[in-house]
């Protein structure tokens, strides 16, 4: 595995590979890697001749009171993990390399970014789209790999790629969960032991709503109430930022499941914000 620090060097490596007829898979990360990230790298490894992983904590997607400075970082460990799962090139640009002092252009996403995380974290998706667009122009991959845990992020990035006529294809992989069901996240390290036990109530709450939908319940309020009840009993969150049944394509809230729905959730356990989601697939018939 080769570590690459400069954008021009990264682009040169990729273009030489393309002249040899090799395909490129790309996994963007902010480091603090876990099995969810590594599963994306393994998938890219199976499907491509070359695999690029980026390691960049993007300041543009953090708000002024968020955890940019304290976000977990361990570049040595991340490099070791990437090497072990078959990464060819680990791209580690500095903030000043991607955002020089005269940098002034950013991406403004549309309505998909306005709700949920966009409402909780103003400017977040502009930062996400800006860095992803820059990385795609540098790496020029055949396929970009993202995880379903950040479902809204994947939808916003997909819309940006479509709107800018990007040649890269997006592949969204299923959520990777711990044994107790909690979705893997770099921020899980913020949880203390007691909070970590409570956090497992979040996936159980979503699963309860999913089971209710499979029994034929289509009313979104009933499904949300089921999830909210389990969440409050088992996770005892300090705050529920949102817990909503939405259309998987538009992310707009729905009153009733007419087909597959998506239950989005963000809660705070202690000082840690946790995101999760689960598809709701109703049984035929309705109540």
Average pLDDT over residues 186-196: 97
User: What whole-number distance in Å separates Cα of residue 79 and Cα of residue 58?
Assistant: 18
CA–CA distance, 274 with 202 (Å, rounded to integer): 9
Report, as an integer, the average pLDDT of 198-215. 97
pLDDT digits (tens, 9 = 90+) for 258-278: 999 999 999 999 999 999 999
Query: For residue 210, what pLDDT is reported?
Result: 98
- 186-280, CATH topology level: 3.30.1300
Q: CATH assignment of 2-173?
A: 3.40.50.620
Instruction: Give residue 245's pLDDT.
Output: 98
SS3 label, residue 61? helix
Task: Report the pLDDT averaged over residues 98-111.
Answer: 96
What's the whole-number average pLDDT of the chain?
96
Taking the whole predicted model, whether its pTM rises above 0.85 is answered as yes
CA nearest to 139, candidates 43, 51, 38 = 51
> Average of pLDDT values for 73-77?
96
Is 137 among the catalytic positions?
no
Q: Of these residues, 34, 37, 48, 124, which one is catalytic?
A: 37
pLDDT tens sequence across 76-95? 999 999 999 999 999 999 99
pLDDT of residue 65: 85
Sorted by where each begins, the domain ranges of the chain are 2-173, 186-280
pLDDT of residue 283: 76
What are 144's strand-pairing partners? 26, 170
Same-fold call for 2-173 versus 186-280: no
Q: What is the mean pLDDT of residues 19-43?
A: 98
């Amino acid at each position: 595995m080769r570590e690459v620090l400069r954008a021009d060097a990264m682009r040169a490596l990729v273009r030489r590979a393309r002249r040899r007829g090799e395909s490129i898979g790309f996994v963007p990360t902010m480091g603090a890697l876990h099995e969810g990230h590594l599963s994306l790298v393994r998938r890219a490894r199976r499907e491509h001749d070359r695999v690029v992983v980026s390691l960049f904590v993007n300041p543009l997607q953090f708000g002024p009171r968020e955890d940019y400075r304290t976000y977990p970082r361990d570049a040595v460990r991340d490099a070791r993990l990437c090497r072990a799962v078959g990464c060819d090139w680990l791209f580690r640009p500095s903030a000043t390399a991607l955002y020089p002092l005269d940098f002034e252009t950013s991406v403004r996403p549309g309505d998909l970014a306005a709700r949920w995380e966009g409402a909780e974290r103003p400017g977040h998706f502009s930062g996400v789209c800006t860095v992803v667009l820059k990385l795609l122009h540098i790496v020029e991959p055949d396929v970009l790999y993202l995880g379903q845990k950040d479902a809204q992020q994947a939808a916003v990035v997909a819309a940006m790629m479509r709107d800018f006529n990007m040649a890269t294809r997006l592949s969204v992989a299923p959520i990777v969960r711990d044994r107790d069901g909690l979705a893997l996240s770099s921020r899980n390290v913020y949880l203390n032991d007691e909070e970590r036990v409570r956090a497992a109530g979040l996936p159980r709450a979503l699963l309860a709503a999913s089971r209710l939908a499979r029994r034929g319940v289509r009313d979104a309020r009933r499904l949300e109430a089921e999830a909210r009840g389990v969440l409050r009993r088992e996770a005892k969150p300090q705050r529920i930022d949102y817990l909503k049944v939405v259309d998987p394509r538009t992310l707009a809230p729905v009153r009733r499941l007419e087909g597959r729905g998506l239950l989005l959730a963000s809660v705070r356990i202690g000082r840690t914000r946790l995101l999760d989601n689960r598809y709701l697939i109703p049984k035929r018939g309705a109540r």
